[in-house]
Chains A and B, each alone.
Chain A
Amino acid sequence: MAKIGVFVCHCGENIASKVDTGNLVKALSDHPGVEICNEYKYFCSDPGQETVKRAIRENNLTGVVVAACSPRMHETTFRKACAEAGLNPYMLELANIREQCSWVHSDKDQATEKAIEITRSLVEKVKRNNELKPISVPVTRRALVIGGGIAGIQAALDIAGAGREVILVEREPSIGGHMSQLSETFPTLDCSQCILTPRMVEAIQHPNIKVLTYSEVEEVDGYIGNFKVKVRKKARYVDMDKCTGCGDCIQKCPVKKIPSEFECGLGNRTAIYTPFAQAVPNVPVIDKNRCTYFKNGKCKICQKTCQIENCIDFEMQDTYEEFEIGAIVVATGFQIQDTTLYGEYGYGKYKDVITGLSFERLASASGPTAGKILRPSDGKEPETVVFIQCAGSRDPSKGVKYCSKICCMYTAKHAMLYAHKHHDGNSKIFYMDIRAAGKGYDEFTRRAIEEDEAEYLRGRVSKVFEENGKLVVRGVDTLLGKPVEVKADMVVLATAIVPQPDAKEFAKKIGIGYDEYGFYNEAHLKLRPVETATAGIYLCGACQSPKDIPDSVAQASATAAKVLGLFSREQLEREPVVAAVGESTCAGCWGCVSACPYNAIEQKEIRDRNGNLVKEVASVNPGLCQGCGTCVTFCRSNSIDLAGFTEKQIFAEVMAL
């Protein structure tokens, strides 16, 4: 016999001002099965919870309905109270009479009537609740970090530093990411590689980190604590273990004029190459598409040069390795937008119209010009450089709607670097707004303007064209209200930051959400910023949204904290809201198998005691099941049900409305 306790919360005046709680208590007290019905000012307070607990103990309640706020607010609170009073925590329902009743209706009579119906229907539901036990799943305490940029490196180092194993997968031949391409970093102007390379070395030498470069994640199966990940290690054609990184092969390679991706095409590389001098690991790869041997079947000069036997192996194939993983950190980073879509800026047409990232390479001491800022067209020093901000960002018509966040700062930095290297140079910056929010950021842009004489022109550029060997930048100065023309020697575009081109496909592969652009979705923008909606998968860096280095690093450490929190236990407790199959009626049509988005339903053989196959039925793996209930509705013979939301419960709820 059901003994239900109903507890009506006033929530101060929040509920009581619109719902006649006295009437509600009266109506519910008479409802069949209701043993006790109370009202109180704040049931979520300590004395409130004590009242609930005492009522459970004294009346031997079999179920509890708290008519209060949304279950999204206080379900956990009251489940805990029930458990403390010896009642199974899943014998509780919250009737939402605040968010979905008192706060949204003005007529007290109508609101009271609605509150009565809501509470009554949940009493009917809770009568049919079953005692559930949380599901324990083991946790593999090994993390996978996807992406070896600064975010991925930081996350890996933090997790490894706490004594857990990390697999760090990077698809390029070296870790380092975009940060390794940068010259100096704002707002301190310290050299990017100087602060990054020690971290890269630390990562590859760390006993707990296994770094897999030139590798890609092929498949992700499983669930939180128990992922199975398949990694494809692309053929480098150079033996990682044997290579000493002497670089002789690179010196001798006859194919020398390949535009270097790392140098944004401003410098060249060979067919056997490391992307940059400080690459980690310092082991070259052969670019199969450019290598003379792979193209013509003749050459092998690198192999002849190499002093180690069988180090360069042209027969090498891609290999696959599988890992058992407990948590995944996604740190796949960003790309810059294709700037050729702004034909009016002349990118691609004029050599001296370059992107901000190219400017980083020009300004970098390790770059193609050894840190001298020179025009790509003729190698001369530019006397006037025009920077165009928001070349793609905040432009819903052609570019992207969002602000790329880092461009205001790096453009100010570019102007400063230019001023420091060319004392007579002029820099003019077309901008929309200067967005310099961050520690030391506004001071930094002020320094660019006041000390390094960067001239900021508020307005957009309509056209860049060549005239008498100069680039003419035609725009408007909206503060003067006049059109302006600037004769420049070089134009630098602050290109928008966009997700990796394959970001959406990759998100589908590993099962996380993404926004309209392809940036990955966090579980909650404010309160769960580094988790995804998929348990056990975390985000950091610019794959989530455009971010600078400090933010990426902070977020990476936050993911590490989440991963380590998960790894602090050997067993993980999960909500027992999972589906289960009634084997006696299951006909084995496998409709549920095709409906399940998590591959949680398997085929199970039922045999008699002699081992003869009686029939095959569906069987739900409770570790994999996430409890959506799609299979339940799909089942033609009504053989599957979902704990917590059973057919019985829902029908009872509907019948009481």
Chain B
Amino acid sequence: MSDPFEPKIVAFVCTYCTYAGADLAGTSRLKYAPNVRIVRLPCTGRISPMFILKALQKGADSVLVSGCHPGDCHFTSGNYHARRRWTVFRALLSFTGIPEERIRFSWISAAEGAKFAELINEITDDTRKLGPFTQYQELQKVIETQSSY
């Protein structure tokens, strides 16, 4: 009998809001699914779509991007850049064949430890239902076999 599928989730978060929110979840001893791996960045404005693709390519089943609420960005407007980038990237995603539900975008403040814990549980459950993400690797194979030109 094989092990049940345990999804891997990579979260790209800003240090001022969501990273602090995740710390608060810890200080409050809230329990949540251990499937998430956090990558800390100064601001969501620093998060490149390439990071997301790289994470998916390396075996992440879902990716979370989370930062400060609109209007709360420590750097004034980095989260707005991230939001706009996400809008464009989402359109590109459906074109490339990566299912949109693999990527989540949210605002979690430094005071929202409980929200962070809930969101991780939710994403873990949803990803468990979606199953492992293999499309990217398959796409990769297709590209490699057709890359003769």
**Hey, which bits of chain A sit against chain B, CB under 8 A?**
70-72, 96, 98-101, 103-107, 110-111, 113-114, 117-118, 121, 511, 513, 533, 577, 595, 597-598, 626-630, 632-634, 642, 644-645, 647, 650-651, 653-655, 657
Question: Which residue among A99, A111, A632, A645 has the maximum number of chain B CB atoms within 10 Å of its CB?
Answer: A99
The answer to whether B106 has its CB under 8 Å from any CB of chain A is: no
- Among candidates A597, A634, A645, residue contacting B42 with C-beta atoms closer than 8 Å: A645
The answer to whether B7 has its CB under 8 Å from any CB of chain A is: no
Q: How far is the CA of A100 from the CA of B48 in the complex (A)?
A: 23
A595-B81, A634-B81 as given contacts; A627 in contact with B42, CB under 8 Å: yes
The tally of CB-CB contacts under 8 A between chains A and B is: 120
Q: Is the CB–CB distance between B26 and A651 below 8 Å?
A: no
Question: Which residue among B10, B25, B37, B54 has the maximum number of chain A CB atoms within 10 Å of its CB?
Answer: B37
- Among candidates B31, B51, B74, residue contacting A650 with C-beta atoms closer than 8 Å: B51
The answer to whether B43 has its CB under 8 Å from any CB of chain A is: yes
The answer to whether B72 has its CB under 8 Å from any CB of chain A is: yes
The answer to whether B104 has its CB under 8 Å from any CB of chain A is: no
A100-B26, A655-B54 as given contacts; A114 in contact with B42, CB under 8 Å: no
The answer to whether B129 has its CB under 8 Å from any CB of chain A is: no
- A330 to chain B minimum Cβ distance, whole angstroms, is 17
- Among candidates A533, A630, A647, residue contacting B43 with C-beta atoms closer than 8 Å: A630
- B144 to chain A minimum Cβ distance, whole angstroms, is 19
Q: How far is the CA of A72 from the CA of B75 in the complex (A)?
A: 18
Q: Is the CB–CB distance between B45 and A71 below 8 Å?
A: no
Q: How far is the CA of A511 from the CA of B46 in the complex (A)?
A: 20
- B116 to chain A minimum Cβ distance, whole angstroms, is 9
Instruction: Give residues of chain B (79-94) contacting chain A, Cβ–Cβ below 8 Å.
Output: 81, 85
Q: How far is the CA of A651 from the CA of B54 in the complex (A)?
A: 7
A630-B45, A642-B46, A657-B58 as given contacts; A106 in contact with B78, CB under 8 Å: no
The answer to whether B98 has its CB under 8 Å from any CB of chain A is: no
Q: Which residues of B contact A121 (CB under 8 A)?
A: 37, 39
- B84 to chain A minimum Cβ distance, whole angstroms, is 10
Q: How far is the CA of A598 from the CA of B77 in the complex (A)?
A: 10
A-B pairs with the 3 shortest C-beta distances? A99-B26, A629-B46, A630-B45
Q: How far is the CA of A626 from the CA of B25 in the complex (A)?
A: 27
Q: Which residues of B contact A104 (CB under 8 A)?
A: 25-26, 29-32, 34, 117
- Excluding A70-B26, A626-B75, A632-B48, 13 further A-B contacts by CB distance (< 8 Å) are A71-B40, A72-B19, A96-B23, A104-B117, A105-B32, A111-B34, A595-B81, A628-B43, A628-B74, A629-B46, A629-B78, A633-B48, A653-B39
A106-B31, A650-B39 as given contacts; A513 in contact with B72, CB under 8 Å: yes
Of the four ranges (under 10, 10 to 19, 20 to 34, 35 or more), the interface on chain B belongs to 35 or more
Q: Which residues of B contact A634 (CB under 8 A)?
A: 81
- Among candidates A98, A598, A633, A655, residue contacting B26 with C-beta atoms closer than 8 Å: A98
18 contacts between A and B (CB under 8 A): A71-B40, A99-B26, A100-B23, A100-B38, A110-B34, A117-B37, A121-B39, A533-B74, A577-B42, A598-B76, A629-B42, A632-B46, A633-B85, A645-B42, A653-B39, A655-B58, A657-B10, A657-B37
Q: Which residues of B contact A511 (CB under 8 A)?
A: 76
Q: Is the CB–CB distance between A654 and B76 below 8 Å?
A: no
Q: Is the CB–CB distance between B34 and A654 below 8 Å?
A: no
Q: How far is the CA of A513 from the CA of B68 in the complex (A)?
A: 13
The residue in chain B whose Cβ has the minimal distance to the Cβ of A653 is B39
Q: Is the CB–CB distance between A654 and B55 below 8 Å?
A: yes
Q: How far is the CA of A634 from the CA of B20 in the complex (A)?
A: 25
Q: Is the CB–CB distance between A629 and B76 below 8 Å?
A: no
The answer to whether B108 has its CB under 8 Å from any CB of chain A is: no
Q: How far is the CA of A103 from the CA of B34 in the complex (A)?
A: 11
The residue in chain A whose Cβ has the minimal distance to the Cβ of B43 is A628
- B1 to chain A minimum Cβ distance, whole angstroms, is 18
The answer to whether B27 has its CB under 8 Å from any CB of chain A is: yes
The residue in chain B whose Cβ has the minimal distance to the Cβ of A121 is B37
Q: Which residues of A contact B77 (CB under 8 A)?
A: 597, 630
Q: Which residues of A contact B15 (CB under 8 A)?
A: 72
- Among candidates A96, A107, A628, A653, residue contacting B78 with C-beta atoms closer than 8 Å: A628
Q: Is the CB–CB distance between B54 and A628 below 8 Å?
A: no
The residue in chain B whose Cβ has the minimal distance to the Cβ of A644 is B42
Q: How far is the CA of A657 from the CA of B75 in the complex (A)?
A: 28
- Among candidates A99, A113, A117, residue contacting B23 with C-beta atoms closer than 8 Å: A99
Q: How far is the CA of A627 from the CA of B45 in the complex (A)?
A: 10
Q: How far is the CA of A598 from the CA of B31 in the complex (A)?
A: 39
Q: How far is the CA of A159 from the CA of B15 in the complex (A)?
A: 33
Q: Which residues of B contact A98 (CB under 8 A)?
A: 26
Q: Which residues of A contact B48 (CB under 8 A)?
A: 632-633, 647
Q: How far is the CA of A221 from the CA of B48 in the complex (A)?
A: 29
The answer to whether B119 has its CB under 8 Å from any CB of chain A is: no
Q: Is the CB–CB distance between B78 and A99 below 8 Å?
A: no
- B82 to chain A minimum Cβ distance, whole angstroms, is 8
Q: Which residues of A contact B31 (CB under 8 A)?
A: 104-106
Q: Which residues of B contact A633 (CB under 8 A)?
A: 45-48, 81, 85
Q: Is the CB–CB distance between B46 and A628 below 8 Å?
A: yes
The answer to whether B22 has its CB under 8 Å from any CB of chain A is: yes
Q: Is the CB–CB distance between B22 and A99 below 8 Å?
A: yes
Q: How far is the CA of A70 from the CA of B15 in the complex (A)?
A: 11
- B111 to chain A minimum Cβ distance, whole angstroms, is 10
Q: How far is the CA of A628 from the CA of B47 in the complex (A)?
A: 10
Q: Which residues of A contact B51 (CB under 8 A)?
A: 650-651, 654
Q: How far is the CA of A364 from the CA of B21 in the complex (A)?
A: 50
Q: How far is the CA of A655 from the CA of B45 in the complex (A)?
A: 21
Q: Is the CB–CB distance between A72 and B20 below 8 Å?
A: yes
Q: Which residues of A contact B72 (CB under 8 A)?
A: 513
Q: Is the CB–CB distance between A105 and B60 below 8 Å?
A: no
Q: How far is the CA of A632 from the CA of B10 in the complex (A)?
A: 21
Q: How far is the CA of A419 from the CA of B38 in the complex (A)?
A: 64
- A86 to chain B minimum Cβ distance, whole angstroms, is 26
Q: How far is the CA of A113 from the CA of B6 in the complex (A)?
A: 13
Question: Which residue among A103, A111, A114, A629 has the maximum number of chain B CB atoms within 10 Å of its CB?
Answer: A629
A117-B37, A513-B72 as given contacts; A642 in contact with B23, CB under 8 Å: no
Q: Is the CB–CB distance between A99 and B81 below 8 Å?
A: no
A513-B72, A628-B42, A629-B42 as given contacts; A597 in contact with B78, CB under 8 Å: yes
Q: How far is the CA of A100 from the CA of B85 in the complex (A)?
A: 27
- A76 to chain B minimum Cβ distance, whole angstroms, is 14
Q: Is the CB–CB distance between B37 and A114 below 8 Å?
A: yes
Q: How far is the CA of A114 from the CA of B6 in the complex (A)?
A: 12
Question: Which residue among B38, B39, B54, B71 has the maximum number of chain A CB atoms within 10 Å of its CB?
Answer: B39
Q: Is the CB–CB distance between B54 and A654 below 8 Å?
A: yes
Q: How far is the CA of A105 from the CA of B81 in the complex (A)?
A: 33
Q: How far is the CA of A306 from the CA of B76 in the complex (A)?
A: 51
Q: Is the CB–CB distance between A103 and B29 below 8 Å?
A: yes
Q: Is the CB–CB distance between B45 and A629 below 8 Å?
A: yes
- A90 to chain B minimum Cβ distance, whole angstroms, is 14
Q: Is the CB–CB distance between A630 and B26 below 8 Å?
A: no
Q: Is the CB–CB distance between A654 and B42 below 8 Å?
A: no
- A521 to chain B minimum Cβ distance, whole angstroms, is 9
- B49 to chain A minimum Cβ distance, whole angstroms, is 8
- A248 to chain B minimum Cβ distance, whole angstroms, is 51
Instruction: Give residues of chain B (85-135) contacting chain A, Cβ–Cβ below 8 Å.
Output: 85, 117
Q: Which residues of A contact B39 (CB under 8 A)?
A: 121, 650, 653-654, 657
Q: Is the CB–CB distance between A100 and B22 below 8 Å?
A: yes
